[in-house]
Amino acid sequence: MLFVASMWLSRYSYQEIRFCSFLNIPMLKRVLNTMLIILFGLHSVGGLVAASLEYKHPFSQGKSVAQFIKESKADNMLIAGAAPDDLTLEVLGYLEKDQFYYPRTKRFGSYGIWDMKWRHGRSTPMSEVLQEIQRLSDERDEDVIVISARPVEKIILPNIPDVIAPLEIGRAEDENYFTGSIDELLMTKRSLTQEEILKHFDSGIVETMTVDPETVLAMSFGEGEGDTTIDLSNYSNHGVLKGAKWENGKFNKSLMFDGTAWVDVGNDESLDLNGTNFTIALWVNLRGKPNAAFVAKDEGLGERNKWFLIYNPSVKDSNIAFHINQPGKEGIWINAPWHGETFRWYQIVLVKKGYSYIFYVDGKEVNNISITTANTP
C-alpha cells in the first residue's frame, strides 16, 4: 500500500497539487516521495527478515503442529480449527491444504472471514465447538483432526510402519508358528461394514470382495493342491506354501499349519498398511493353543518394523492381539477377549477405522479400542 501511495504521489505535477499550498514546494514533494519509498523498502526488508526468522525459529506452534500432522500421516484427513481462526490459519499454510473447517462459523474455507458470522461465532463455548465437530464427523463418517489452542489429552499415534519384509501367513518373527487351519483370508485397505463382515461370515470371500479395488489380498484356498495359493484380488499377491498342507476347510479347501509351516506372500507395496484404514478377515480352526500368528509382516525379532495379528492365550482375557512396532518407539499391543476352542471354526476380523481398532468374532463385535487405551501385555 505504501508503494502504491508513493507512486501515486510521485506522478502528481507541481501544478496539479492545489488543495494545500504547503505541498506545492518542489523540494518537499521530492522528500516526501523519497520517504515513502524508503518506508516501503524498510517494510519489505523487514517482512523478508521476519519470514526467514520464522522459518528458522518459529514464532508460533503452527509449523511444529503441521510437522506433527505430516509425520503422523494424517495430513489428508479432514481438519477442523477449534482454536481462533488466526491460529488455525498458521497450520493451514504449513500443510499446504486448500481449506479447513471452521466450526465456530460452520463453514469451510482457506482463510478466515471477518463478517457477522465470525463476530457472533468467536465467543462460542468450546463445548459447542466440539459438538459441531462431532456432528461433522458423524455426517461424513470420518475422523476429524481438531486443532485447539487449549491443552488436550495426549493421544498416542502408533503409525503402522512400512515393513521391508514379505507378508507371511502362519508365523511371525521367524517363530510364533500357528497350529491349525486357516481359510478365506481377506485384506482390504478400507473398513468393511457390518453387512460385509456378515457376508464374509455366511459365504467367505465373494466376488464383490475380489473385484473391490481396495482389496489387496483375497485367498479362498480353493486350489486344494500344489505349492501355490492364488490371490483373487487385482494385485495377484500369490502365496508360496512353506510346508502348509491342503485339507477340507470352512467352505471348500483350507491350509493346515502344523507348527512349523507358513505361507510366503511376498513384499508387494500393495500389502503395506501404513496411513490407511484396513480390514483383515479370516477363518481359523485351532489345533493347539500356543502364541501363534495368523498373519504378519515383520523384519524379525527385536526392535524392528513389524505388525501382526496373533492368537495370544498367555494374556488373560486377551486372546486376540494386533501388535505394531517401530524402532525407537514403544510397541503397541491392541487386545480383544476370545476364548477359542480347538477343532472348531471361527471367523476373526480386525477393522481399523480412524483411531479405533474393532475386533469381531463370528460376525459379532467383541471389542472396540481407541488407540488412547491400547496397552502392553
The helix/strand/coil state of 29 is helix
HSE-CB of 99 using CA atoms within 13 angstroms: 10
Give a yes or no: residue 136 inside a domain: yes
Task: Examine the domain organization and report whether 90 and 40 are in the same domain.
Answer: no
Give alpha helix (H) positions in the chain: 2-10, 26-56, 62-71, 85-95, 116-121, 126-140, 194-203, 207-210
Residues whose CB is less than 8 angstroms from the CB of residue 62 and which lie 6 or more positions away in sequence, other chains included: 87, 90, 91, 93, 94
Classify residue 373 as exposed, middle or buried by CB count within 10 Å of its CB (0-12, 13-18, 19+). Answer: exposed
Task: State the CB neighbour count (10 A cutoff) for residue 254.
Answer: 28
CA distance 207 to 222: 14
**Same domain flag for 310 and 266:** yes
Report d(CA 352, CA 346) in Å as an integer. 20
Beta strand 144-147 pairing with 78-81: parallel
Q: Are 285 and 257 in contact (CB under 8 A)?
A: no
Do both 237 and 336 map to the same domain? yes
Residues 143 and 183 reside in one and the same domain: no
Query: What local confidence, expressed as pLDDT, does residue 156 receive?
Result: 45
pLDDT at 66: 80
Residue 157 domain-assigned (yes or no)? no
Same domain, 231 and 270: yes
The pLDDT score that the predictor gives to residue 259 is 93
Q: Say whether both 43 and 74 belong to one domain.
A: no
| 160: in domain | no
Residue 156 lies in a domain: no
The answer to the question of residue 154 being in a domain is no
pLDDT for residue 376: 36
- Domain tally for the chain? 3
302 and 220 fall within a common domain: yes
Euclidean distance between CA atoms 158 and 235, whole angstroms = 27
197 plus 286 within the same structural domain: yes
**Sheet of strand 144-147: strand arrangement:** 107-109, 100-102, 78-81, 144-147
**What contacts 352, CB < 8 A, 6 or more positions away?**
191, 273, 277, 278, 279, 358
* Nearest to 96, CA basis, from 142, 136, 63: 63
> Which pLDDT score, from 0 to 100, does residue 166 have?
96
- Quote the distance between the C-alpha of residue 330 and its chain's center: 18
Report the pLDDT value the prediction gives residue 109, as an integer from 0 to 100.
Answer: 74
| 3-state secondary structure at position 35 | helix
In a domain, 155, yes or no: no
Query: Where in the sequence is the domain holding 337, given as residue range(s)?
Result: 167-373
187 with 247, same domain: the answer is yes
Res 135: pLDDT: 76
Do 8 and 37 meet the contact criterion of CB atoms below 8 Å apart?
A: no
Task: State the amino acid at position 286 in one-letter form.
Answer: L
Q: What is the pLDDT along the chain (377 residues), one digit of tens a residue?
A: 555 555 555 555 444 444 455 555 566 666 666 776 777 677 777 777 766 766 665 556 677 778 888 877 777 788 887 665 556 667 777 777 777 787 777 888 776 666 776 666 666 776 677 777 777 776 777 777 777 765 544 444 456 888 999 999 999 988 899 999 999 999 999 999 999 999 999 999 999 999 999 999 999 999 999 999 999 999 999 999 999 999 999 999 999 999 999 999 999 999 999 878 999 999 999 998 778 999 999 998 888 899 999 998 876 655 899 999 988 777 888 888 888 889 999 999 999 987 789 999 999 999 888 664 444 33
Q: In terms of C-beta density within 10 A (0-12 exposed, 13-18 middle, 19 or more buried), how is residue 352 classed?
A: buried
Residues 198 and 285 in one domain: yes
Please state, in angstroms and rounded to a whole number, the distance separating the CA atoms of residues 122 and 103. 10
Q: What is the pTM of this model?
A: 0.62
The CA distance from 306 to 165, in Å, is 9
Name the 3-class secondary structure at 39: helix
Q: In the beta sheet, which residues pair with residue 108?
A: 101
Residues 177, 303: one domain? yes
Rounded Cα distance, 146 and 81, in Å: 6
